[in-house]
Amino acid sequence: MPSTDHPEPAHQDGSQGAREGNFLTDNPELYEARFPDPTRLAGRWAEDVLRRHHAGRRVLDLGCGTGRDAARLHRAGREVTAADLSETMLRYAAAHHPGPRYVRADLRRFHLGEDAFDAVVCLDSALLYCHTNEELDGFLHSCRTALRPGGLLLAEMRNGAFFLGSSELLGAPARGGFDWQGTHYTSTTHLHLDHAAQLLRRLRVFVSDDGAPPVVQRSAWRLLFPQELRHFLAVHGFEVLALYDRPGPRTEPPWQQGEEPGTSASADRLHLVARLRRGAPGSVPGAVPTPRPAPTGPQTP
């Protein structure tokens, strides 16, 4: 596995003179074009899991992004509240994917009512923006407050255990290109592990052919291991019903309607279903963190 605690590469991909930003979050239409989901696979998978576990109608979608998964759950008959930190994403979602109630909230600590939801859904690694133990405690504390007793927590994310035996995603930089609104863009992506912080860090540089300065995007995901996640959930009063790597909406091959969940947890995605135990304690000492500034909206999962 390559060394992972060195500084991120600089100026190797035309990034000199670049501005920092989140090119995709700032342009939700481009985000959907770059990561299309015409069949709403993630939303259909989430609805299938909710039905399997007999979840009620009231659903909170955390880190909703452009709103397409929240809208799919709404069309399935759910009463959906969809939350994100990016005002740009929320405006786009309300305009292009109406139906859910869209609100601004930081998933690392939020208050959207007590016993207000039958299920919390957190897709595309949004949970992993909880970079520290305190932030993860804040997320789970907030979910416990928002959920009714017996409510479900459903999450889909990268799997920290995958990186214990694989450097598949950590080799040479990934390069790609695309055209948008008459301009050609190239992107170069570097991934590296920050062992001390237990984070997967990403540096992505977008360069266009119109002479505009490059855009540098820095993001990171917490790498959680299955047993570590089980421990956090138990501390906060959740019972794990399922924790597996495939099939899911981001796996290869992707999930298909009617497929049963697997039993292994070694591939690069992790799927969680947990239930809030009835009579779970209302608070965990020291569990609620002081929030720090958050990444502006969704990143590429």
Per the structure, the count of domains in the chain is: 2
What is the per-residue pLDDT for 281?
A: 62
User: What is the SS3 assignment for 42?
Assistant: helix
pLDDT at 96 over 90: yes
pLDDT at 44 over 60: yes
Other CB atoms within 10 A of residue 178 CB: 13
Give the Å distances, CA to CA, from 258 to 19, 118, 120, 198, 199: 46, 23, 22, 35, 34
CB of 17 closer than 8 Å to CB of 213: yes
> Do 201 and 230 fall into the same domain?
no
> Do 213 and 248 fall into the same domain?
no
> Do 71 and 156 fall into the same domain?
yes
Note whether residue 282 is domain-resident: no
Note whether residue 8 is domain-resident: no
Note whether residue 70 is domain-resident: yes
d(CA 65, CA 46): 15
Paired tokens of 151: 């409510």
Give the Å distances, CA to CA, from 157 to 124, 152, 244: 6, 16, 11
> Do 167 and 155 fall into the same domain?
no
- Rounded to an integer, the average pLDDT of 159-184 is 90
d(CA 221, CA 200): 5
Among 174, 198, 220, residue at a domain's last position: 220
Note whether residue 167 is domain-resident: yes
> Do 156 and 172 fall into the same domain?
no
Note whether residue 100 is domain-resident: yes
What is the per-residue pLDDT for 158?
A: 97
> Do 116 and 240 fall into the same domain?
yes
> Do 149 and 216 fall into the same domain?
no
Note whether residue 295 is domain-resident: no
Q: Which residues contact 197 (CB under 8 A, 6 or more apart)?
A: 131, 220
DSSP state letters, 44-111: HHHHHHHHHTT--SEEEEES-TTSHHHHHHHHTT-EEEEEES-HHHHHHHHHHS-SSEEEE--TTS--
pLDDT at 294 over 90: no
Q: Which residues contact 131 (CB under 8 A, 6 or more apart)?
A: 197, 199, 220, 222
Give the Å distances, CA to CA, from 57 to 76, 78, 81, 170: 10, 5, 11, 41
pLDDT at 171 over 90: no
Q: Can you give the CATH number for the domain in which 215 is found?
A: 3.30.1300
d(CA 280, CA 288): 16
d(CA 66, CA 62): 12
- Rounded to an integer, the average pLDDT of 195-217 is 95
Among 202, 220, 238, residue at a domain's last position: 220
Domain that holds residue 254: 32-161+223-276
Among 201, 220, 239, residue at a domain's last position: 220
> Do 239 and 204 fall into the same domain?
no
Summarised one tens digit per residue, pLDDT across range 244-292 is: 999 999 999 999 999 999 999 999 999 999 999 988 765 444 444 444 4
Half-sphere exposure of 247 (CA within 13 A, CB side): 15
Note whether residue 92 is domain-resident: yes
> Do 210 and 82 fall into the same domain?
no
CB of 298 closer than 8 Å to CB of 124: yes
> Do 54 and 170 fall into the same domain?
no
> Do 243 and 112 fall into the same domain?
yes
Half-sphere exposure of 12 (CA within 13 A, CB side): 13
Burial classification of residue 20, based on how many CB atoms lie within 10 Å of its CB (0-12 exposed, 13-18 middle, 19 or more buried): exposed
pLDDT category at 299 given cuts 50, 70, 90 is: very low
> Do 212 and 68 fall into the same domain?
no
Give the Å distances, CA to CA, from 44 to 2, 37, 92, 246: 37, 11, 21, 15
